[in-house]
Every structure is written in C-alpha cells, then in structure tokens.
Structure 1
Amino acid sequence: MELGLLYSGGKDSTLAALLLNDFYDVTLVTAHFGVTDDWKYARDTAEATGFDFETVELDHDAAIEAVERMAEDGYPRNGIQRVHRHALETVAGMRFDAIADGTRRDDRVPTVSRAQAQSLEDRHGVDYIVPLSGFGRGAVDRLVAATLDVESGPSDEINKADYEAELRALLVREHGEKAVDEVFPDHEQTYVTGFLSRR
C-alpha cells in the first residue's frame, strides 16, 4: 500500500517514516506554498535517508488566511492548524491509500481530532495514520538520538521545510519583521541530515 507522509525534514516526520516503512511504500511529501525554496532541505533529507520524495503546492490563499489569523490572534496556533488541515486534505486527494504525519501525543499544534480524522478518511477513502501518537517527547528524543543524525537550533536558523518558514516569510511581507517576533515564540527546530547507523 502506498502512503504519503507529510514531511518537513525534521526528527518527528523522519521517525514517523521509519516506523511506517515496514508496512507501507512510504513517499515523503513536502507541502509548500511556493513562497520559499526551503522544500529543498526536506528533499536532501529524503535522499540521505533513502525515501521517495515529492512536493505538492498548496493553495496560496490558505497561507494568506493563516497569516492574517496569526497576526490577529498574536500567536501561531490557529494559523498553523489551518495550514496543517489544508495540507492533509491536499495529500489525501492524491493517489495514496494512506496518509500520515509526524505529530506526537503531546503536541499542542498541529493536532487532528478524532472527528476530523474520521471525516478525512471517509471523504477521501484513505487511512489517516499518526504513528507517533503514542509517543511523548522524551520517547521520541531517545529514539532519534539512537538512530538519526540531527542538527538543532533556533527556528529562524535551522533550514527545514515546515509550514513555519513560509508563514514567517509571508508575515514579514504582510505585517513587517516585528510581527514575526510578536507571533512566534522562540523555540528549537530540528533538521535530519542522515542516519547514525543503518538499521
């Protein structure tokens, strides 16, 4: 069965790919808005880890709506939720039998409710799988430390193909540099560069 995994090149989505690889033909899918070329970092990680890779361009209006929501709210949660749901819908409409993401049990954003997951599956005829839903941050960190070569640092310094980089760029364009600091809290991002050793 073919599975499309929403992919950023970070530790969570890479670990999710490894967990699913024994059961599915996994294709890493980086969804983007065409605002930056950061998707290339995810492509590089896919090559380093040996997974098939594709990109899909999302509706630019969804990004604009998310940015306006974040600017209005003063925090990113609702905007990122909107973009994640849009990305899942887009990938679900592709050729895959199943779709997945790298969200963990204790993630605050993005999240998908049981009702949203069921609706997605019913409307698109796919299975929605969340392989890290039983893993907390500590468990993920230990598995990653034993398996993956990872770079980490502040979110504005790590090259990663997640929604945040493009949303930051749009926020600057629409509302200025100061808006990014007002909306996004400081946090650490990860970028996978390969395996520590082959499994």
Structure 2
Amino acid sequence: MDLGLLYSAGKDSSLAALLLDSFYDVTLVTATFGITDDWTHAERAAESTGFPFEHLELDQPVAEEAVDRLVEDGFPRNAIQRVHLHALEELAEDEFSAIADGTRRDDRVPSVSRAQAQSLEDRHGVDYVAPLSGFGRSAVDRLVEAHLDVESGPSESISRADYEAELRTLLVEREGRDAVAEVFPDHEQTYVTGFR
C-alpha cells in the first residue's frame, strides 16, 4: 500500500519513515509554498535514506494567512498548525492510499486531533497514520540515537525543509528581520543525513 509521509528531513519524520517502512511503500513528501528552495534539503536527505521523494506545492494564500496569524498572535503555534493541516489536506488529494506525519504524543504543534484525522480519512478515502503518536520525546530521542545520523543546532544554522523556514522568510519580507526573533522562540533543529 502506498503511503505519503510529510517530510521535513528532521528526526521525527525520518524516524516515522523507518517505522512505517515494514508496512507501507513509503514516499517522503515535502510540502512547500515555493517561497524558498529549502525543499531541496529534504530531497538530499531522502536520497541519503533511500526513500522515494516528492515535492508538493501548497496554496500561497495559506502562507499569507499563516503570516498574518504570526503577526497577530506573536507566536507560531496557530500558524504552523494551519499550514500542517493544509499540507495533510493536499497530500490526501494525491494518489496515496495512506498519509502520515511525524507528530509525537507530546507535540504541542503540529498536532492532529482524532476528529481531524477521521475527517481527512472520510473525505479523501485515505488512511491517516501517525506512527509516533504514542512516543514521547525521550523515547524518540533514544530511537533516533540508535538509528539515525543527525545534525542538530539552532534553527538558523541547520538545513531544513519545514514550514517554519518559509514562514520566517515571508515574515522578514513583511515585518523585517527583528520580527522573526519576536515571534519564533529559540529551539534546536535537526537534519537527518542518513540511517545507521
């Protein structure tokens, strides 16, 4: 059965690919708005892991709406959540029998509620799978340590292909560079360079 996995080249989505590989024909899919070419980082990571890769274009108005939300809220949670749900909707319209993401049990954002998952499945005739939904951060970190080669560091210094990178770019264009520091908290980013 073909499964499209939303892929950022980070540890969570890469670990999800490993977990799903025994049950599905996994394709790593990076969804972007075409604002940057950061999706190529995910393409390189996919090549290093041996999984097929696709690039999915999202609707530009959703990016604009997300940046409006960033400015209005002063934090990224609602904007990232909106983009993630849009990406799942677009992925569900693709040719896959199942779709998945790397959301974990303790993620605040993005997250997919039971009702949202059922709605996706019912409306698009796909299965939604969240293989890390029962794993906490420490369990994920132990599995990553055992199975993935990972670079990590501050968001600004690590190659990545997540929604945040493009939203940051749009935010800088609209509000200036200082707005990024005001809206996005400092956090560690990961980039997978291969499997062990």
- The TM-score normalised by the length of structure 2 is 0.99
CA apart distance, 1:91: 0.2
**Structure 1 match to 2:168:** 168
Runs of 4+ in 1 over 3 A off after TM superposition: none
CA–CA distance in 2 between the matches of 1:156 and 1:179?
14
Deviation at 1:3, TM superposition (A): 0.2
Q: Cα distance, 1:168 vs. partner? A: 0.2
CA distances 1:67-114 after superposition (whole Å, capped 9, x unpaired)? 110111000000000000000000000000000000000000001111
Report how far residue 195 of structure 1 moved.
1.6
Residues 149-195 of structure 1: CA distance to partner in whole angstroms, max 9, x if unpaired?
Answer: 10000011111000000000000001111110110000000000012
Tell me what 2:32 maps to. 32
Aligned position for 2:6: 6
Write the distance in 2 (CA, Å) between the matches of 1:30 and 1:174: 24
- Name the CA distance, whole Å, in 1 between partners of 2:176 and 2:125: 42
TM-score normalized by the length of structure 1 = 0.98
How many Å separate the matches in 2 of 1:2 and 1:45? 20
The secondary structure found in structure 1 opposite 2:44 is helix
Question: Partner of 1:16 in structure 2?
Answer: 16
Question: Quick one: which amino acid aligns to residue 33 of structure 1?
Answer: F
Residue matched to 1:80: 80
1:94 counterpart = 2:124: no
CA drift of 1:24 comes to: 0.4
What 5-or-longer segments of structure 1 have no aligned partner?
none
CA drift of 1:129 comes to 0.3
Amino acid paired to 2:51: F
Aligned to 2:136: 136
Query: Which residue pairs with 2:116 in the alignment?
Result: 116
Offset at residue 140 of structure 1 (A): 0.4
Question: What letter corresponds to residue 159 of structure 1 in structure 2?
Answer: S
Distance 1:129 1:195 in 2: 22
Counterpart amino acid of residue 119 in structure 1? S
How far, CA to CA, are the matches of 2:113 and 2:22 in structure 1? 26
Q: Secondary structure at the residue paired with 1:135?
A: coil
Distance 1:80 1:118 in 2: 20
What is the identity percentage for the equivalent residue pairs of Structure 1 and Structure 2?
Answer: 74
